[in-house]
Amino acid sequence: MTEIQIADHAETLDAVARHLGAARRILFITGAGISADSGLPTYRGIGGLYNSGLTEEGIRIEDALSGDMLAIRPDITWKYLAQIEHNCRDAGPNDAHRAIARLEADFATVVVFTQNIDGLHQQAGSRRVIPIHGDVHRLRCEHCGNRETVPSLEDRPLPPVCPRCEGEMRPEVVLFGEMLPEDELGRFYDELEKGFDLVFSIGTTSVFPYIAQPVVWAARAGVPTVEINPGDTRVTPYITYKLALGAAEAMNALMERLGAAA
């Protein structure tokens, strides 16, 4: 984004910065767009990797990355998981991840509810992260329950084989058609019950109800909501402040304003 585009959003940025400066409990809901400045492709939305067609097998990416496909054709599911992992492997947190981590150090409570499986929020230093879809670098044996955290899938057979029992391992991620993890969902609902006084939606098209609903609930309760996304999404009609900017650009501009006000 250019300085001119930032200037176009100056009034909105000023207003959001004022809310940030006064907030005690802040919720960040994040999707693939927040990691775009780390070099990771989004899978939907502007510039989405799978926007315009089917996979090489002639199926939708949602079907390739589904629990049903893992059961009957694990080679297909692991092929696309390996693509995702390869993209994540050398990426590091960007300014948006780091800004959220800094806010956590400066404010009473900052909760990150992320769809991303890249682990970049944690790498940036955020501690209250709820990775609702898991982590692509964590594996679990479906036979003996052995768990591993692996830095790379590059030297592993696909599907990976358990080093303990030689059973087939699965990714500790939520595939399409699978249930969300109860522990992580419970943590999120516990945080929602405590309430938030500012809610951000960053880099997500909000196609899943559990991603959109917290924004809708906040809006109906009179809680200010902020969307950082170059395009409009399903939650845009409920948003108090819309920043049609990239995540890193917008968060840098907000942090500059907070610094100037300190």
Report the amino acid identity of residue 36: A
CA proximity to 195, closest of 99, 105, 111: 111
Q: If you search the block for the tokens 């399903």, which residue do you land on?
A: 234
Say how far apart CA 114 and CA 208 lie, in whole Å.
Answer: 12
Q: Token pair of 248, please?
A: 């890193």
For 59, list phi and psi in degrees, rounded to 5. -125, 165
Say how far apart CA 2 and CA 240 lie, in whole Å.
Answer: 24
Which residues in 75-168 belong to E strands, given as ranges? 109-114, 129-131, 134-141, 147-149
Say how far apart CA 245 and CA 203 lie, in whole Å.
Answer: 10
Question: Which of the following is catalytic: 19, 97, 121, 133?
Answer: 133
Annotated catalytic residue 133:
yes
Supply the residues annotated as catalytic.
Answer: 133
